[in-house]
Amino acid sequence: MLSNNTFLDEGLDFFSDMIDLNSSLEHLDLSKNTLSDLGILPFARSLSNNRSLVTLNLRHNQLGKEGGIALREAVSGHKYLIRVFLEDNAI
Domain boundaries, the chain: 8-85
Tens digit of pLDDT for each residue in 24-44? Answer: 999 999 999 999 999 999 999
Residue 1 has pLDDT above 70, yes or no: no
Confidence band of 14 (pLDDT split at 50, 70, 90): confident
Kindly report the pTM of this predicted structure. Answer: 0.90
Between the two ends of the chain, the Cα-to-Cα distance in Å is 23
Residue 80 has pLDDT above 80, yes or no: yes
Confidence band of 10 (pLDDT split at 50, 70, 90): confident
CATH superfamily, domain at 8-85 = Ribonuclease Inhibitor (3.80.10.10)
